[in-house]
Amino acid sequence: MNFSFNEDQNAIKESIARFSEAVLAPGYKKRDQTGIIERELIAQLGDMGFLGVELPEVYGGSNLDCITSGIIIEEISRHDFNLGYIPLLTSLNGQIIASHATPELASEWLPQIVAGKKIVCIALTEHGGGSDAANLKMKAERQGDHYILNGEKTSISMADQADVAVVFARTGTQESRAHGISAFLVPMNLPGITTTRFEDSGQRCIGRGSIFFDQVKIPASHLLGEENKGFKQVMQGFDYSRALIGLQCLAVAQQSLDETWQWLTEREAFGQKLSAFQGLTHPLAELQTYVQAARLQCYYALWLKDNHLPHNAEAAMNKWWGPKLAFDVVKQCMLAHGHTGWGEDLPFAQRLRDVLGLQIGDGTAQIMKNIIAREFNPA
C-alpha cells in the first residue's frame, strides 16, 4: 500500500500549485464580481496540459491516471474553487465523449476541449428530474438522419458559457424511465437553443441557468452510445466526478485551514499568541483530522477507478462528505479570524457561498446516502 504520489505526479502538483497561487488567486474575487471565467485562463490550462489528462493521446489527452486529474483539480481549487470546475467538466464529459461518441465526432470536439479552446457542459437536470434523474421529459425524436430536440434543461452549470453540451433526452416512453434515455453531443450555437442565467449566491463566474431546445435539429451521428442507454453512461461518469468534487471542496477547506493556522501564530490577545488558546486550536485540530481522512477517501475512490474496481459507494461518500465538511471548515476558519474574517477583504465569505452549492448540485447528501445504504444493505 503506497500513500505517496510518484515523481511525475509531484512535478505536476508543484507546477499547477505555482500557477494557481500566482495566476488564479489574484482574480478569484474579481471573477465572482464579473460573473465569467476568462477564456484566456482556460486556454492557459489547456496549453499547460492540465485539462483532460486521463483522456487518450489521440484526442489531445495525456493518457494519465485519474489520480493525476484529482491532483490538478485539488491544486487549482485551492486558490480558485470555481476554476476547478473546468478540468472537472472536461474529465467528466471527456470520458463520456471518448467512450461513446463516434471517432469522427470525438476527434472534432475533444482536442479543442482539452486545449481549452472550447467549453463543455453536461445537461441532465430538469424541473422534475433532479434527484429523480430518470424522470426526464425532454424529448429527442428520430426523423430520418437527424434527431429533433424539444424541452428544457435547468440548473445547468456553465449553461451560457459552454460551446457544446452532453445532453440527455427521452427517446423512449415516459414509463420506461431510465431505459428510455439517450445522450447526445449538442453544439450550443445551433438554431433553436437559448439560455438563461440564474442569480445565485455563489459560483457566480460558473453561472447556472436553463437551456431551452425548440425544434433543435442534430445529426444522428451525434448520438452518444446506443439509443435508450444514455442513463447508464451518465451514472458511471458521476462516480468519477463525485470523487473529483470531493477534492475540489476539500482543497478550499485545506487552504482555509493553512491560512488560519498561520493567523493564530501572528495575532495576539491577552498578551499571548492566539495559537496558545485551545478554544481556537482544538476545533481546527479536529477539522484538520476530518479533512485529511476525507481527502484520502477521495484518492482511494480514484485509485479504485484507475484499477477498474467498483467505486460507486466510495464516490457517494466523497460527494456528501466533502462539500459539507468544506463548508464547516471554512465557517470555523472565518470565526477564528473574528470580525476580519466576516469582511469581504478575506476570501472566507466567498468560499462559503461557493462550496455550499455543491451540497445540492451533482447529487444531494440524501441521494448519496441512499447509494451507500444500497451498497451495504442490499436488502
Return the number of other C-beta atoms located less than 10 Å from residue 140's C-beta. 27
Quick one: pLDDT band at residue 129, thresholds 50, 70, 90?
low
pLDDT at site 175: 67
Class of domain 232-376: mainly alpha
The mean pLDDT value of the chain amounts to: 93
- The string of pLDDT tens digits covering residues 253-311 is 999 999 999 999 988 778 888 787 788 899 999 999 999 999 999 999 999 999 999 99
Q: Which of 13, 45, 188 is nearest to 115 (CA)?
A: 45
Segments making up each domain of the chain, as ranges: 7-118, 121-227, 232-376
**Residue pair 25/69 in contact by the 8 Å Cβ criterion:** no
**Cβ neighbours around 238 below 10 Å, total:** 22
| b/e 63-96 (16+ beta carbons within 10 angstroms → b) | ebbbbbbbbbbbbbbbbbbbbbbbbbbbbbbbbb
Is 47's pLDDT higher than 80?
Answer: yes
Mean pLDDT over 210-219 rounds to 97
Percent of the chain with pLDDT over 70: 97
Could you say which architecture CATH assigns to the domain 121-227? Beta Barrel (2.40)
Higher pLDDT, residue 90 or 273: 90
Q: What is the pTM of this model?
A: 0.93
DSSP 193: E
User: Which one-letter DSSP state was computed for residue 229?
Assistant: B
From 41, 39, 36, select the one nearest 22 (Cα to Cα).
41
Q: Kindly tell me if the per-residue pLDDT of 36 is higher than 70.
A: yes
Please tell me the CATH superfamily of domain 7-118, with its number: Acyl-CoA dehydrogenase/oxidase, N-terminal domain (1.10.540.10)
Helix (H) or strand (E) holding 166: strand 164-170
Find the mean pLDDT for residues 342-350: 92
